[in-house]
Amino acid sequence: MDVFESGAGKPVLMKMVKAIQDKKDYLGEVDGLIGDGDHGMNMNKGFTVFAKRFGEKEFDLADGLGGLGSILFNEIGGSMGPIYGTVLMAMAESTEGKAVLRVSDLADMLGAGLKDLQELVDARVGDKTLVDTLTPAVESLEESARRKDPMRVSLENMKEAARRGRDSTKDMTAKFGRSSRLGERSRGVLDAGAVSCCVLLEGLADGILETIKEGPDGERS
């Protein structure tokens, strides 16, 4: 079956946790170039708290995303805690009650996160934020759903779209946050939020790819 069984949420969330933990220092370095340098530390704090609280539990994707989102929204300092908390809780709500997720469901899930994010910060593509990473990821999954691409292909394409979005922020001028005060001096550096968003999307995709069942021919769906 070319679906992800949402009951297997734990390995996916733990993959996302590890992705942030592994990139903690890099995220801090990127943020330090035009920000205050605490993005990696704050993200790592929130994801590590989630791992400690949920590590001994079993949970589906919606409960995992919702739990992580709540921790980030309520317990993590800086602007990115509430931002990522909003995104993840919207994703959780989109998948709640769904036993299996198809590519179209994954597109809806990320799309719900993007919608609530833009209602919160009013950022658009080109403003040098995580919107520049999340938007092409959503669009890639939507296109894959229309083409009826296999989930494996769809998720690989989504990761590549997210990377392109992340990289596009290097040539942009920041419109939000502390870095917006730098004007043209913010150009030439990746946006830390765009980078962390890409890390999370890659972790999400890789977790799902490792979890989905193999097809009858022995290849992943």
Give the tens place of pLDDT for each residue, 86-115.
999 999 999 999 999 999 999 999 999 999
136-145 per-position pLDDT tens digit: 999 999 999 9
pLDDT at position 220, please?
A: 43
Which string of b and e fits 193-215 if b means at least 16 CB within 10 Å?
bbbbbbbbbbbbbbbbbebbeee
- Rounded Cα distance between 127 and 17, Å, is 27
pLDDT at position 214, please?
A: 47
More confident residue, 214 or 55: 55
Q: How confident is the model at residue 173 (pLDDT cuts 50, 70, 90)?
A: confident
Decide if 207 contacts 11 (C-beta within 8 A). yes
Lowest mean pLDDT among 35-39, 69-73, 152-156, 192-196: 35-39
Instruction: Say if domain 4-211 classifies as CATH 1.25.40.340.
Output: yes
pLDDT at position 31, please?
A: 92
**198-221 average pLDDT score:** 76
**26-55 average pLDDT score:** 93
**How many Cα atoms occupy the beta-carbon half-sphere of 113 within 13 Å?**
30
Helical H segments across the chain, by residue range: 9-22, 24-34, 39-54, 61-75, 80-95, 103-121, 131-147, 151-168, 192-211
pTM of the shown model:
0.92
Considering all CA atoms of the chain, what is the largest pairwise distance in Å, rounded to the nearest integer? 56
**128-141 average pLDDT score:** 97
Q: Which two tokens stand for residue 34?
A: 């035009």
* Collapsed DSSP state (helix, strand, coil) of residue 185: helix
pLDDT at position 216, please?
A: 36
* Collapsed DSSP state (helix, strand, coil) of residue 129: coil
CA distances 125 to 59, 161, 168, Å, are: 34, 13, 10
Total length of the chain: 221
